[in-house]
Amino acid sequence: MHIEYDRENDTAYVSLVAHIADGAAVRQIPVAGVGADAEVFLDVDASGRLLGIEVIGAGGALPAEVLEQSSSSG
Q: What is the pTM of this model?
A: 0.86
What's the confidence (pLDDT) of residue 40?
Answer: 96
Q: What is the pLDDT of residues 16-50, one digit of tens each?
A: 998 888 999 999 999 988 777 899 999 999 999 99
> Is residue 63 within 8 Å of 20, Cβ to Cβ?
no
Mean pLDDT computed over every residue of the chain:
91
Confidence tier at 9 by pLDDT (50, 70, 90): very high
> Quick one: pLDDT at residue 73?
65
Quote the pLDDT of residue 54: 96
* E strand residue ranges, 16-61: 27-31, 39-44, 50-56
